[in-house]
């Protein structure tokens, strides 16, 4: 059955926006009609799809408002689009404010439209502890028809923290394998960045928020570089970037750390990398780990949140304790200095992603959720 689905996400923010947009695109390719109801065009939308529509949420800032009422404008837009387009489902990414807005839209419509809420992490692991928001988050989750979480750990954390009545269904994230695969552009691109043939390339991609512990990434790199000729690529922008620059200067690593800013075609960049580091203190999944592994890049991640559900320790990379940069360096050196081992990890990373996080498998899981709602 072909469905009409409204999708709301933070269109320009990190992994959740990517997953929401990619899911919308793949659902559209299966013939469903997709309506993005967001504050701006999702940045990964890319090519034209005849059955994907974008409805911009516009917020008027009247002088009586101290703060522009985005949440109310979103709820109104959801209700307007759902009514006009006869939507079957509103699929929202993040409980606050999106799930709450969807509940409000549903009440405005007095309609049987179904709400699917996907939890991505920071709505629970950060905002869930805020007493001014926790009851609202619980409300959004409990009033949704189906709630999914991007990892088992996030499901558990949410249930424990907010005493949730609704069932939460874990559905892992995925990558589009048509975008994330290893290219043979190694030498050209490496040259462009001034990377010598005998150097290894280590990469970190994030939004440089404090939870990403960027200092640990740089400290680990400084230790690795003592043993192995290497470069560190730092990709992304965010509040800790200045701290990162200062630290690089202080450790005199300027020649070996490349700040590449925000990048679109990370699949190509991963293709010149030998190792990816994600040393966060909070991470409900770690989508960048999947993206790296799909491109044959082994990963080292911290043993927290959903990361152990993504990395197979000792096979596709390593799990390390938060803050233990010596352990990171030791594991990285053992991997980067052993050609056969690295090749084995790299191969296993690709097959692990293909077998467990294939887009078809994950999109099927979401489609089953949608179908169960419209049939029931």
Q: How far is the CB of 270 from ligand GMT (least distance, A)?
A: 16
CA pseudo-torsion sign 177, 178, 182, 188: negative
Q: How far is the CB of 219 from ligand GMT (least distance, A)?
A: 20
Closer to ligand GMT by CB, 140 or 286: give it. 286
Give helix then strand counts, H and E, for the chain: 14, 13
Contact 231, 204 (CB under 8 A): no
Tell me which residues touch ligand GMT (CB under 6 A): 13-16, 19, 120-122, 125, 150, 173, 207, 209, 211, 282-287
Radius of gyration of the chain (CA): 21
Return d(Cα 293, Cα 299) in angstroms, integer.
7
Q: How far is the CB of 77 from ligand GMT (least distance, A)?
A: 21
CA pseudo-torsion sign 287, 228, 348, 310: negative
Q: How far is the CB of 302 from ligand GMT (least distance, A)?
A: 11
Instruction: Read off the DSSP letter of residue 258.
Output: E
Q: How far is the CB of 309 from ligand GMT (least distance, A)?
A: 11
Closer to ligand GMT by CB, 174 or 370: give it. 174
Closer to ligand GMT by CB, 4 or 120: give it. 120
C-alpha closest to that of 26 among 355, 376, 288, 370 = 370
Closer to ligand GMT by CB, 239 or 314: give it. 239
Please, what's the largest Cα pairwise distance for the chain? Answer: 66
C-alpha closest to that of 37 among 2, 69, 71, 3 = 71
Closer to ligand GMT by CB, 16 or 21: give it. 16
Ranked by CB distance to ligand GMT, the top (closest) residue is: 121
Closer to ligand GMT by CB, 153 or 230: give it. 153
Q: How far is the CB of 335 from ligand GMT (least distance, A)?
A: 23
Contact 109, 135 (CB under 8 A): no
């Amino acid at each position: 059955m072909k469905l009409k689905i409204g999708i709301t996400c933070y269109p320009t923010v990190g992994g959740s926006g990517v997953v929401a947009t990619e899911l919308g695109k793949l659902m559209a390719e299966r013939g469903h009609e997709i309506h993005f109801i967001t504050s701006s065009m999702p940045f990964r939308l890319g090519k034209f799809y005849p059955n994907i529509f974008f409805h911009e949420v516009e917020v008027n800032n009247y002088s009586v408002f101290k703060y522009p009422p985005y949440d109310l404008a979103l709820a109104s837009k959801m209700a307007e689009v759902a009514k006009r387009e006869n939507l079957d489902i509103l699929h929202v990414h993040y409980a606050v404010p999106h799930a709450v807005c969807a509940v409000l839209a549903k009440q405005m419509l007095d309609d049987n439209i179904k709400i699917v809420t996907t939890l991505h992490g920071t709505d629970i692991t950060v905002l869930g502890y805020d007493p001014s928001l926790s009851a609202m988050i619980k409300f959004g989750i409990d009033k949704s028809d189906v709630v999914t979480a991007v990892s088992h750990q996030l499901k558990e954390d949410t249930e424990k923290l907010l005493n949730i009545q609704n069932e939460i269904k874990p559905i892992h994230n995925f990558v589009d394998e048509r975008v994330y695969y290893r290219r043979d552009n190694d030498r050209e691109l490496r040259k462009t960045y001034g990377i010598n043939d005998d150097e290894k390339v280590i990469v970190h991609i994030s939004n440089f928020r404090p939870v990403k512990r960027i200092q640990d990434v740089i400290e680990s790199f400084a230790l690795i570089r003592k043993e192995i000729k290497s470069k560190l690529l730092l990709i992304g922008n965010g509040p800790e970037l200045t701290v990162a620059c200062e630290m690089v200067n202080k450790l005199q690593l300027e020649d070996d750390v490349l700040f590449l800013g925000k990048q679109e075609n990370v699949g190509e960049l991963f293709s010149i990398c030998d190792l990816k580091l994600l040393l966060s203190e909070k991470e409900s999944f770690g989508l960048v780990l999947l993206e790296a592994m799909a491109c044959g890049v082994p990963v080292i991640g911290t043993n927290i949140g959903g990361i152990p559900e993504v990395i197979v320790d000792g096979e596709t990379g390593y799990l390390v304790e938060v803050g233990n940069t010596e352990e990171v360096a030791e594991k990285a050196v053992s991997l980067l200095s052993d050609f056969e081992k690295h090749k084995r990890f790299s191969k296993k990373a690709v097959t692990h992603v293909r077998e467990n996080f294939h887009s078809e498998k994950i999109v099927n899981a979401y489609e089953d959720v949608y179908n169960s709602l419209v049939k029931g």
